[in-house]
Amino acid sequence: MPVPEIEIEEFADRHAEGVRVVDVREPDEYARGHVAGAVSVPLATVPDRAGAIGPGDGPLYLLCQAGGRSRKAAEHLADAGFDVVNVDGGTAGWIASGRDVVEGDQPT
């Protein structure tokens, strides 16, 4: 199922509003730097952890390094009934746009 995508600039606006963000990169990638508030759910664990992610209120924004892995995760979650948006450009785009990241294994 195709999922909506959002560019970094628009995502930054949504992020400032406090949207839910999931980073599907591997734990070592996440620890080296992630968008503040993003919860780590590696791509391989998305099917098993979908219930823990929960549908919540409003869309769930997914990102990875560039947008490919998060697109796969978003497609899986969309098929499961989630309201999801893939962040095109991912964490690399976020960093390239001059925005800060958080290091470590915690969302903030």
**Would 13 be classed as within a structural domain?**
yes
Number of compact structural domains in the chain = 1
**Would 46 be classed as within a structural domain?**
yes
Nearest to 75 by CA among 88, 87, 86: 86
Please tell me the pTM assigned to this model: 0.94
**Would 107 be classed as within a structural domain?**
no
What pLDDT digit, counting tens, does each position of 75-94 carry? 999 998 899 999 999 999 99
Task: Clarify whether 64 is annotated catalytic.
Answer: yes
**Would 106 be classed as within a structural domain?**
no
The residue segments making up the domain with residue 65 are 5-96
* Token digits of residue 39: 């919860």
Cα distance between residue 61 and residue 38, in whole Å? 9
The catalytically annotated residue of 21, 35, 62, 64 is 64
Contacts of 87 (CB under 8 A, 6+ apart): 5, 6, 8, 11, 61, 62, 63, 67, 70, 93, 94
What pLDDT digit, counting tens, does each position of 54-79 carry? 777 889 999 999 999 999 999 999 99
**Would 108 be classed as within a structural domain?**
no
Q: What is the CATH number of the domain that holds 30?
A: 3.40.250.10
